Structures are given as structure tokens and as C-alpha cells.
């Protein structure tokens, strides 16, 4: 069983995907965390983010691993814990440049398909329903207003001690949406057979219930 959840930044994908996976006993795969990890790698090595060949040289040997932990999932990059680093503003503001590189996408899409081939899975990202798992049994495209998404991100950031103002977050989110939706390879778009869910005014529980109702054996 494959459940694909796509949508723009801050629409609630990872929160909902994690809960749906937990309820159904499936694996959860956060593909955004993989693009973020490659971004951290390039920034730490001082590689120009447009230098696809140099990034690919390093990515070929990069081990990206999700490890269950008490407070969710840890992300390990060649054994180093990058769970916090991948959420820092510097990573967030550079990830769309790295994720637009065709060879980086090819490499990570293959890794994502390999994970999905071995498990019942909930996978979230931008191109899961369109490219990574085009035959997923359930496809969801999650949206929410830019204002709602910036307020949510602000709340999360404050808990982590990141104090970016809401207006700035709105700008950053709109800019990332623009870049992710207009890139040449696998742009963010709703798959034709995806169900659109607008989470602007929905609670997390309502969204989880709506998605579980789409899963064939749970919909009765
Ligand atoms: O959590 P948030 O929505 O802010 O972002 P994310 O899901 O962690 O994804 C970070 C970035 O990775 C996105 O802005 C995209 O540029 C890229 N991404 C992608 O291109 N394709 C995916 N399947 C997942 C993420
Ligand atoms: O993965 P993505 O960037 O799409 O979003 P997220 O990180 O899962 O969600 C961003 C924030 O929105 C989280 O703090 C969620 O708790 C919150 N959220 C919410 O308040 N109401 C919803 N219906 C969905 C998410």
C-alpha cells in the first residue's frame, strides 16, 4: 500500500503523514528531509549550490538514513545527526536550488522508490503522486493559505528559538512555492488523480481521519 502526500511548504504534509503512518502501522518517508540533507552536505563542504557535478560526486557516497527515536525520527548523514541542521533557515532558504538539479532528483527518487518497494508506506513531498509513486493507491494534494502556513511555521520556529517574523516567513514560503512550482524537472503540481485537501481551517485530527477514509480497507 502506498499513500502519496504532496503539497506546498507548511501545508501540514509531514505532521499528517507521520500520524497516518503510525495509525496504519506503515513506514513514513519524509522526502523533503532527503533534499534538505543534500543541501546541508553541500553547504558544509562549501560546494557551489549550482555545481551539479560536484554535488553528485559527494551524493553518490552519501548515506542518508532515518532512524526512529523517542521524539520522532532522526536523520543521519553518513552517521552524523543532522535532524536539527536540516530545519535551520539557511538550509530551508537554499533547498529549492538544490532540489531543482535534475541529477540530484534522479538519485533521490531512486532511493525513495527503493524504500517504497519494501514497505507499506506513507511518503510526503512535492512529486510523490506525479513522479516517485505514480501508481500509489492513495494520493493527496494538501494546500493551505500562505498566511496560515506562515503562522504555523512561526509557532514551530519559536519553539526552536528561531525568531523570523511572520511577514518574512510569508515571503519565504511564497518564494519557495514559486521555485518549487516553476522548476523544469518534477515541479510541484497536483496529480490528476489526487484528492485535494485544504487544511487552512481543519484540525490535524480531521485531516488524518479524511485521509484514512481514502484507504480502501479502512473506508467502510
Ligand atoms: O516542510 P517543508 O514543506 O517546508 O519542506 P520539505 O517537505 O522539507 O521540503 C523542502 C524542499 O525540498 C522543498 O521546498 C522542495 O524544494 C524540495 N522537495 C522536492 O523538491 N521534492 C520532494 N519530493 C520533497 C521536497
Ligand atoms: O510538512 P509540511 O511543511 O507540509 O508541514 P508540517 O511541518 O507538517 O506542518 C506545519 C505546521 O502546521 C505544524 O506545526 C503542524 O502542527 C501545523 N498544522 C496545523 O496547525 N493544522 C493542520 N491542519 C495541519 C498542520
**ipTM surpassing 0.95, yes or no?**
yes
126 lines ligand 2 (CB under 6 A): no
* Cβ(186)–Cβ(127) below 8 Å: yes
Residue 220: is its pLDDT beyond 90?
A: no
From ligand 2's centre to the CA of 76, what distance in Å? 23
Instruction: Give the number of other CB atoms < 10 A from CB of residue 97.
Output: 14
Write out pLDDT tens, residues 23-44.
999 999 999 999 999 999 999 9
pTM, whole model, 2 decimals? 0.95
Domain of residue 182 covers 2-219
Give the mutation target among 125, 129, 136, 194 for probing the ligand 1 site: most ligand atoms within 8 A of CB.
125
From ligand 2's centre to the CA of 60, what distance in Å? 32
125 lines ligand 1 (CB under 6 A): yes
Cα atoms found within 13 Å of the Cα of residue 29, Cβ hemisphere only: 28
36 lines ligand 1 (CB under 6 A): yes
Strand 138-143 vs strand 2-6: parallel, antiparallel, or unpaired?
A: parallel
Nearest-angstrom CA–CA distance, 36 and 52? 15
Write out pLDDT tens, residues 62-106.
999 999 998 889 999 999 999 999 999 999 999 999 999 999 999
For atom 12 of ligand 1, the residue with the nearest CA is 32
> Is 187 annotated in some ligand binding site?
no
Q: What is the CATH number of the domain that holds 125?
A: 3.40.50.300
Q: How many domains does the chain have?
A: 1
199 lines ligand 2 (CB under 6 A): yes
> Is 9 annotated in some ligand binding site?
yes
32 lines ligand 1 (CB under 6 A): yes
At a CB cut-off of 8 Å and minimum separation 6, what does 61 contact? none
Amino acid at each position: 500500500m502506498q499513500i502519496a502526500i504532496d503539497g506546498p511548504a507548511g501545508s501540514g504534509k509531514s505532521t499528517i503523514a507521520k500520524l497516518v503512518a503510525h495509525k496504519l502501522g506503515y513506514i513514513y518517508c519524509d522526502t523533503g528531509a532527503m533534499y534538505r540533507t543534500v543541501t546541508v552536505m553541500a553547504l558544509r563542504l562549501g560546494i557551489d549550490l549550482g555545481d551539479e557535478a560536484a554535488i553528485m560526486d559527494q551524493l553518490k557516497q552519501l548515506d542518508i538514513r532515518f532512524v526512529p527515536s523517542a521524539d520522532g525520527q532522526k536523520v543521519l548523514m553518513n552517521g552524523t545527526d543532522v535532524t536539527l541542521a536540516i530545519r535551520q533557515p539557511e538550509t530551508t532558504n537554499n533547498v529549492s536550488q538544490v532540489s531543482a538539479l535534475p541529477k540530484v532528483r534522479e538519485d533521490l527518487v531512486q532511493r525513495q522508490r527503493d524504500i517504497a518497494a519494501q514497505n507499506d508506506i506513507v511518503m510526503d513531498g512535492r512529486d510523490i503522486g506525479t513522479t516517485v509513486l505514480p501508481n500509489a493507491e492513495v494520493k493527496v494534494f494538501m494546500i493551505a493559505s500562505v498566511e496560515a502556513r506562515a503562522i504555523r511555521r512561526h509557532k514551530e520556529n519559536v519553539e526552536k528559538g528561531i525568531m523570523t517574523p511572520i511577514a518574512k516567513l510569508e515571503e519565504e514560503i511564497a518564494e519557495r512555492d514559486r521555485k518549487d512550482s516553476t522548476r523544469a524537472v518534477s515541479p510541484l503540481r497536483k496529480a490528476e488523480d489526487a484528492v485535494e485537501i485544504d487544511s487552512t481551517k481543519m484540525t490535524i485530527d480531521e485531516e488524518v481521519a479524511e485521509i484514512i477514509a481514502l484507504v480502501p480497507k479502512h473506508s467502510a
